[in-house]
Amino acid sequence: MMKKIFVAIAFAALAIGWTDARVSAQEQGDISPAKHKRLFREGAKLWPVYCNTCHNARPGSEKTPYEWDMIIMHMRTLANFPQEDTDAILEYLKAR
């Protein structure tokens, strides 16, 4: 019985994670369309520069917004790049 409950909970958690919509800061209403456009363009320029320095850059569609939040926080710590660059790359990846 416990195994069935665990499997049901695990399946529900996975289903919730997989259905997570790709939401950029602009879609959330956190930033203006002009700022979104500026961040997106800047992120498109910075993404291959920062990410391809150490490994192959991953397409934005490969991860959920939550996963990109976690990845970018980790990579920002390792690469020590500025918050403005982080915001731009994150906006670019989430919008793709």
Per-block average pLDDT, block size 10, for the chain (96 residues)?
59 47 56 91 92 83 91 89 92 88
User: Is 1 strand, coil or helix?
Assistant: coil
pTM more than 0.85: no
What pLDDT, on a 0 to 100 scale, did the predictor assign at position 18?
A: 43
> For residues 35 and 84, what is the distance between their CA atoms, to the nearest angstrom?
12
> What is the span of the domain harbouring residue 72?
2-95
Total domains, the chain: 1
What pLDDT, on a 0 to 100 scale, did the predictor assign at position 19?
A: 41
What pLDDT, on a 0 to 100 scale, did the predictor assign at position 31?
A: 80
Say if CB 89 and CB 50 are below 8 A apart: yes
What pLDDT, on a 0 to 100 scale, did the predictor assign at position 26?
A: 53
